[in-house]
């Protein structure tokens, strides 16, 4: 139901935005450039889309990330799109790393490791594009479970199935440590039915659903990926799904919300890990809670599961097997473990290496999101998000500030008799002021309004519409206020030169308030008839 609501909301907002652009011209201050930089091997689909919608792409995808960032700082770029290498390059350091970079940084995919507080202090917005990854991780997880169930003889094998998770596992057991590229369009359709309606699923999909029919499944983490898994995994369509996420109070697709990790795990026969963070959550005591013969699947971060506890649980038979796309040690760090020495001397890394070699573990190389389709989806979502931010200040999936949309409906477009009606006043200039600010500063918004009123010398400053949102980031409260004001005493038919001067004064006045990080001022006008 939630997914349907989101689709309908996006569709409605898309239609509203299209209608707005057809009827209004939008002047803004400061005016961003249309230049968008692509780094770190981003899919070329993003560049194609950027050009088609009037953006100016700068292709630095094959340039080493440090050099690419150096070049970007020497040109007027409004947005930067990149992946994991961009994340690493912006992980440490302070706000100076963002100050001359761009107004917007989009980390393609689901994770964000860069310094979000430093970006906020510099007035830089960070967004991400989780949709492509969520879809890919769900499919990869089901491919992993499918292969593991075949080894445990709990589901029949089908000749000719293409399962890249099996190929990746074979590579891992042969010493391969790099992510494997794959394409969801080429995998077995057993994990990707066209319909998830129980009455429309094929017999193969129903057999997958029957494996866990009526059995308790624990999903730990209900972010984008967890919600995608619950909604679309064939394995969960008949299961008794229990969800634990202390940060999210809702449920998805008929799942039950557990009030603690213990209650979620107690008696579970399948555990699916999709949480943020990289601290141990599943150890010896947690694994004891599972029903004998349970399966554990970790698509989150490697250190979430204690490798010794999992190895010993599999060795004892309490856990039947595991699917691990992330590991306690990965990549070059593997060289330090797995040597021939006495079991009594094993460290956690040695247990992690032993898990990778076990036939009761499908071990893959952090390849879940390396799906080529996901990379294309992420790039296109990133370009769309960049366009919305540059045109209207909309924040789609903010990581250091809240999501927020341009106040189309409340500020400039109303509904009457089923049609759109412009609400611009006859004697007032109507503007939308977006400011990103420290939500812990008392009285900040009132001071912004007072300074704006004084700076442009209007009869009154009437707030027409707007909203204040905030999210905690580390120890701070980062807020965005996007409000619409009538500037009484300045007519809406003011000429362009005078309008730009007003916008400039508003911007400077708002930016002078302590705690404000970034301000943009929008002045939409009805398009003149041709």
More confident residue, 467 or 521: 521
The predicted structure's pLDDT at residue 13: 56
Tell me the per-residue pLDDT of 11-47, one tens digit each, with 9 for 90 and over.
545 677 777 888 888 999 999 999 999 999 999 999 9
Rounded Cα–Cα distance for residues 290 and 268 (Å): 5
pLDDT at residue number 332: 85
pLDDT over 60 at 231, yes or no: yes
Which residue segments constitute the domains of the chain, with CATH numbers given? 32-129+372-400 (3.40.50.720), 133-369 (3.40.50.720), 401-530 (3.30.70.1150)
Residue 89 has pLDDT above 90, yes or no: yes
Residue 240 has pLDDT above 50, yes or no: yes
Higher pLDDT: 337 or 476? It is: 337
CB 397 within 8 A of CB 385: yes
User: Looking at residues 389-402, what average pLDDT do you find?
Assistant: 93
* 399: nearest Cα among 65, 22, 117, 49: 117
Position 420 scores a pLDDT of 46
pLDDT of residue 7: 40
pLDDT of residue 14: 63
Q: Determine the pLDDT at residue 530.
A: 60
pLDDT at 463: 85
Q: How far apart are CA 522 and CA 425, in angstroms?
A: 16
- Judged against a pLDDT cut of 60, whether residue 245 lies above it is answered with yes
Lowest mean pLDDT: which of 7-11, 244-248, 263-267, 339-343? 7-11
Q: Which pLDDT score, from 0 to 100, does residue 427 have? A: 62
Render pLDDT for 307-342 as a digit per residue (tens, 0 to 9).
Answer: 999 999 999 999 999 999 999 999 888 989 988 788
Pair type for strands 104-108 and 125-129: parallel
- The long-range contacts involving 59-63, CB below 8 angstroms and separated by at least 24 positions, are 63/39
Q: Which of 28-42, 376-390, 455-469 has the lowest mean pLDDT?
A: 455-469
Residue-wise pLDDT tens digits, 116-126: 999 999 999 99
Task: Return the pLDDT at 352.
Answer: 96
What pLDDT is attached to residue 418? 44
pLDDT tens column, 56-79: 999 999 999 999 999 999 899 999
Query: Per the structure block, which two tokens stand in for 16?
Result: 């509203």
User: DSSP secondary structure string, 17-70?
Assistant: HHHHHHHEEEEEESPPPSEEEEETT--HHHHHHHHHTT-EEEEETTS-HHHHHH
pLDDT score for 365: 95
What does the block give as tokens for 339? Answer: 């040597």
- State residue 93's pLDDT score: 79
The pLDDT of residue 419 is: 47
Phi-psi bin for 466: left (phi > 0), alpha (psi -120 to 50), beta?
left
% of residues, the chain, pLDDT over 70:
93
Q: What is the mean pLDDT of the chain?
A: 89
Residue 516: pLDDT over 70 = yes
Q: pLDDT tens across 197-210, in order?
A: 767 778 888 889 99
pLDDT (mean) for 457-461? 79
Distance, CA of 139 to CA of 159 (rounded, Å):
19
How many angstroms separate the Cα of 223 from the Cα of each of 66, 126, 243, 317, 476? 31, 18, 11, 31, 22
């Amino acid at each position: 139901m939630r997914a349907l609501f989101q689709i309908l909301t996006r569709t409605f907002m898309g239609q509203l935005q299209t209608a707005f652009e057809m009827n209004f011209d939008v002047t803004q201050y400061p005016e961003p450039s249309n230049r968008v930089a692509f780094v770190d091997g981003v899919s070329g689909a993003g560049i194609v889309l950027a050009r088609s919608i009037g953006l100016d792409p700068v292709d630095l995808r094959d340039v080493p990330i440090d050099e690419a960032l150096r070049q970007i700082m020497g040109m007027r770029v409004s947005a930067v799109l990149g992946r994991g290498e961009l994340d690493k390059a912006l992980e440490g350091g302070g706000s100076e790393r963002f100050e001359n970079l761009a107004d917007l940084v989009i980390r393609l995919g689901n994770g964000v490791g860069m310094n979000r507080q430093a970006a906020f202090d510099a007035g830089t917005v960070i967004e991400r594009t989780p949709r492509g990854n969520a879809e890919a991780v769900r499919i990869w997880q089901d491919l992993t479970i499918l292969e593991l169930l075949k080894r445990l003889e709990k589901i029949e094998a089908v000749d000719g199935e293409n399962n890249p998770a099996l190929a990746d596992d074979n590579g891992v057991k042969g010493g391969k440590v790099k992510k494997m590229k794959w394409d969801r369009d080429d995998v077995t359709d057993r994990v990707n039915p066209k319909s998830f309606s129980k009455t429309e699923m094929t017999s193969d999909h129903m057999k997958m659903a029957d494996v866990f029919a009526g059995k308790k499944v624990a999903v730990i983490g209900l972010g984008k990926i967890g919600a995608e898994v619950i909604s679309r995994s064939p394995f969960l369509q008949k299961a008794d799904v229990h969800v634990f996420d202390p940060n999210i109070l809702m449920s998805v697709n008929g799942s039950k919300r557990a009030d603690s990790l213990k209650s979620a795990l107690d008696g579970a026969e399948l555990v699916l890990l999709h949480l943020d963070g990289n601290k141990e959550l599943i150890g010896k005591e947690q694994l004891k809670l599972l029903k004998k013969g349970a399966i554990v699947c970790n698509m989150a971060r490697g250190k979430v599961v204690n490798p010794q506890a999992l190895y010993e649980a599999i060795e004892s038979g309490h856990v039947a097997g595991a699917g691990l796309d992330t590991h306690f040690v990965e990549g070059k760090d593997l060289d330090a473990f797995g040597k021939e020495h006495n079991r009594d001397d094993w460290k956690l890394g040695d247990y992690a290496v032993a898990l990778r070699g076990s036939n009761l573990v499908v071990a893959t190389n952090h390849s879940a999101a390396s799906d080529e389709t996901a990379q294309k989806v992420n790039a296109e979502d990133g370009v769309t998000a960049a366009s919305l931010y540059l045109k209207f200040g909309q924040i789609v999936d903010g990581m250091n500030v809240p999501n927020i949309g341009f106040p189309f409906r409340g500020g400039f477009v109303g509904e009457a008799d089923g049609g759109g009606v412009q609400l611009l006043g006859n004697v007032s200039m109507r503007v939308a002021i977006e400011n990103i600010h420290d939500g812990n500063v008392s009285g900040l918004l009132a001071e912004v309004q007072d300074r704006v009123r004084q700076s442009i010398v209007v009869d009154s400053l009437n707030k027409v519409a707007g909203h204040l949102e905030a999210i905690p980031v580390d120890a701070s409260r980062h807020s965005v206020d996007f409000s619409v004001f009538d500037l009484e005493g300045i007519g809406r038919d003011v000429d362009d030169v005078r309008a730009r001067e007003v916008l400039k004064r508003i911007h400077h006045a708002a930016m002078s308030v302590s705690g404000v990080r970034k301000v943009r001022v929008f002045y939409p006008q009805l398009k003149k008839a041709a």
